[in-house]
Structure 1
Amino acid sequence: MVVDFYKKLLTILKDETRLVLMVVIANEGSSPGRKGFKMLVTKNQMFGTIGGGIMEHKMVELAESLLDKPNFEPFIKHQIHDKSAPKDQSGMICSGQQTIAFYDINTDFIPTVAQIILEENSCISYTNFGISVNDEATQTPEWLFKEKNSLTQKVYIIGGGHVGLALSEVLSKLDFELHLLDHRENLNTMEANDFVQTKQVVDFETIENHLPEGEDVYVVIMSFGYRTDDIIIRRLLDKNFKYIGMLGSATKIETLFKNLEADGFDKDQIAKVHAPIGIDIKSETTQEIAISIAAQLIQIRNQNR
C-alpha cells in the first residue's frame, strides 16, 4: 500500500538523510514493473521493487551512482523488455515496457511524506517538477503519473478457529488491516493469532455493532457452525461492505440462503454474498482454503485498478 511504503521511507530518510526514489510511472504489456511500483535506494539499504530481475539490478546501480554525486533533478528512464529493441533494452525478455522516474529525496521532503501518510485518499502527483500532494498544477509537466493514497483495506474475520488463523497469516502479508471476532472465550487458536491488529470476543446477536460499513471493509464469515453463521448473516445482509463472504459447503449455503429468502430477505442482498467463499481451486486443507479466500479478496480489491 502507498501509505506503508511512505512510512518506511520516512523511517529510512530520518536515518540516512538522502535517498533515491524510483517510481514506475507507466507500463505496457507484460512488464514486470507496474504503475505505482516503488523502490528506494540509500548508501546502506534498499526497499521496495520496480519489477525485479536484471533491469532492477541495473537501475539500483544507477541510483547508487547518483548518491555519489550532487543533487539531481527528476528524470525518467524508459526500459523495453525485448533484446531486439534498438535502444532502452532492460536485459529482460518478458516483452512489454516500463518508464521509471528518479527522484532525489532529502530531509526537505519530510513534510510531503507526512502529508501522504496523514491525508487518506489524497492524490499524489509525480512529474518532472517533483512529487506533490493535492497540488493544482500551474505548469504543464513533461510527464505525469497520479495515484491515490487509498483508504486502508480492512478485513473483519468473524471466526477465530483454524481457518481464521491461517487466513490471518496469509492476509498479514498482503497489505490488509485485520480484525478478528469470535463469541468464544479463551479460544486457543484466537489466542495464538498474532497476525491481526485487533481481537474481540463479542455477542453475535449484536455483531453489526462491531463492524463499520464502507467501501474499504471486507467481511469474512467463518464461525463455528450453521447456527452462528445464520445469526451473523441476518444482521449483516443489509450493510454496505466492499465484500462479504461465507465459509461453508455448497449444501449448507443453499439451505441457509433458502431459509433467508423464505423469511423475506431480498434476493439481491443474498446474491451479493460470496458463498461458498474463495476462488475455486479444489482446496482441501486449512492453508489451501485460506489461500483461496485471500485470492478472492485480492481479486475484488484490484478489479478496478
Structure 2
Amino acid sequence: MIFWQHILDKLQDNQKLYVLTVIENFGSSPGRKGFKMLVAQDGFIFGSVGGGVMEFALVTKAKELLQEKNQPTFIKKQIHKRNIKDGSGMICSGEQTVAFHCLDSGNIPVIASIVSCLKNGEKGTLRLSPDSFDFLNKLSGNQFEYQINSELDWFFEEHIGFRETLYIVGGGHVGVAVSETFVNLGFYVVVFDNRENLNTLENNNFAHQKSVVNYKNIADYIPQGNSSYVAIMTNKYTDDKLVLSQLIRNKYKFIGVLGSVAKLETMWKALLKEGYTQEELDVIYAPIGLSIKSQTPEEIAVSIAAQIIQIRNLERG
C-alpha cells in the first residue's frame, strides 16, 4: 500500500509521474510480473522493476519524458543479454517487458480507490493498456492476466488487494513478530487470543484485525479455502490441541503448530486416541517453520515465512 500512497501524495501535490510496471517476464529476468516503480517530477523514485543498469536506464527515460510537453504510454522490451537489439545491459538471461504510464491529477480517483481498497482489506483488479490505467471492482481468477499482440495492442490485469490471509491463533510475542513479517510480505493478518487485556495483543500494531475469542469456536472465525493460512501458537499445550482439533478436518492452504518435538509428539498421541487419523495429522506442519535453529520471535517469524512462501511458490511454479 505504501507504493500507491506515495503515488497519491505526489498527484495531490499536482505533480506528474511515471508508473513503470513489469507486465511480462521470462527466464531469469530480475523483474517479475507486477514489479512497479514510480518516477515523479521532483525526482522522487520508489519501487523497483529489477534493478541494475537496466533500471537506471528506464528511470532516466522516464525522467526525460517528464520534462517534455507530452508523455506517451508505451511498452519497452528488455532482453538481458549484451550487445543485442532491446538489450538491457544486463547478462542474467531472460527478458521482461515494462509498461510506462504517465499519471497526473486526473488519475487521483483511480489511485485513491486503490489505496482505499488496500486499507479496508478489499480486492479489485488493476487494468493497464495503451489507453488506460484503471481500477475495476471485478476480480480476476489469477494473480495476473495479460496479452501482448503488439506495441499498440496489449493489456495487463493484476489482482490488487489481499489474496491471502494469515490467521495467527495466539497473540503473544511470537505472534507480534509473525504479524510484522507477514504484513511486509503482503498478507492480510488476523490475530486471535482467548485472553482479555493481553498486552502483546493490544500493542500489536501490525495485524489488520485482532480479536479475543473462545477457542472452542475458533473454526467460526477462520474461513476455509486456498487463500487461508493458519499458524497456531497459543500459550499452552491444551489450547494448541483444542484449536487444532477444531480445525484439522477443515480445508486450508496451510496449518502449522508452534512447539517442541516432544510437545507435538504428546499432542499427536492424544489426538490419535481421540479418533483423528495419522493421515489427518500428516498434513499439519509441525513444528511450524523451516528448520533453521530459530530461537527469537523474529527468527521464528522468518522460519515460518520461509516455509509458507516455499509452499505457495512451489504451487505457483
Same structural fold, with TM-score higher than 0.5 when normalized by the shorter chain:
yes
How do 1:57-72 residues align onto structure 2 when only pairs under 5 Å count? 57-72=56-71
Kept in 2, the 8 Å contact 1:169–1:195? The answer is yes
Mapped partners of 1:79, 1:43: distance in 2: 24
DSSP 3-state at the match of 1:231: helix
* Structure 1 residue 7, shift from structure 2 partner: 4.8
- Corresponding residue for 2:282? 271
- Distance (whole Å) between structure 1 residues aligned to residue 163 and residue 3 of structure 2: 13
Distance 1:266 1:12 in 2: 57
- What percent identity do the matched residue pairs reach? 43
User: C-alpha separation between the residues in 2 aligned to 1:212 and 1:5?
Assistant: 29
Which residue does the alignment assign to 1:160?
171
Render the CA deviation track for 1:197-223: whole Å, top value 9, x for unaligned: 233333222222333334332211011
In structure 2, distance between residues paired with 1:98 and 1:173: 25
Q: Distance in 2 between matches of 1:5 and 1:42?
A: 12
The yes-or-no answer on 1:101 pairing with 2:95 is no
Q: 1:188 to 1:148 in 2, by over 3 A?
A: closer
Alpha-carbon distance, 1:169 to partner: 2.6
SS at match of 2:181: helix
Deviation at 1:77, TM superposition (A): 1.8
- TM-score when normalising by structure 1: 0.85
Which of 117, 130, 133 lines up with 1:131 in the alignment? 133
Aligned to 1:219: 230
Task: Kindly indicate whether the alpha-carbon contact (under 8 Å) linking 1:71 and 1:104 is maintained by their aligned counterparts in 2.
Answer: no
Query: Does the 8 Å CA contact 2:162/2:186 hold for their aligned counterparts?
Result: no
- Are 1:24 and 2:26 counterparts? no
What residue in structure 2 maps to residue 90 of structure 1? 88
**Distance in 1 (alpha carbons) for counterparts of 2:113 and 2:200:** 39
Listed one character per residue, the Cα deviations across residues 41-90 of structure 1 (whole Å, up to 9, x for unaligned) are: 1112222211122221221111111111123332122223333x323332
Greater displacement, 206-215 / 161-170: 206-215
What secondary structure sits across from 1:264 in the alignment? Answer: coil
Distance 2:10 2:175 in 1: 34
1:165–1:193 contact (8 Å) kept in structure 2: yes
Q: Which SS does the other structure have where 2:53 is aligned? A: helix
| Aligned 8 A contact 2:37 2:48 in 1 | yes
Distance apart, 1:114 and its partner CA: 5.2
CA distance in 2 between counterparts of 1:49 and 1:222 reads: 35
Equivalent residue of 1:287, what SS? helix
SS in 1 for 2:96: strand
Equivalent residues in 2 for 1:164-179, closer than 5 Å: 164-179=175-190
Cα separation, partners in 2 of 1:69 and 1:86, compared to 1, 3 Å: same
Tell me if structure 1 keeps the 8 A contact 2:162–2:187.
no
Amino acid across the alignment from 1:86: I
Which stretches in structure 1 are left out of the alignment for 5+ residues?
none
Backbone CA RMSD of aligned residues? 2.9
Q: Could you say if the C-alpha distance between residues 165 and 53 of structure 1 is closer, same or farther in structure 2, counting changes exceeding 3 Å? A: same
Pairing 1:304–2:316 present: yes
The question of whether the paired residues in 2 share the 8 Å contact of 1:151 and 1:216 is answered with no
Gaps of 5+ in 2: 141-145
One-letter code of the match for 1:105? L
**Once the 2 structures are TM-superposed, how far is the Cα of residue 246 of structure 1 from its aligned partner?**
0.7
| Distance in 2 separating the partners of 1:109 and 1:38 | 17
Kindly tell me: are residues 177 and 122 of structure 1, through their superposed partners in 2, closer, same or farther at Cα, counting changes over 3 Å?
Answer: closer
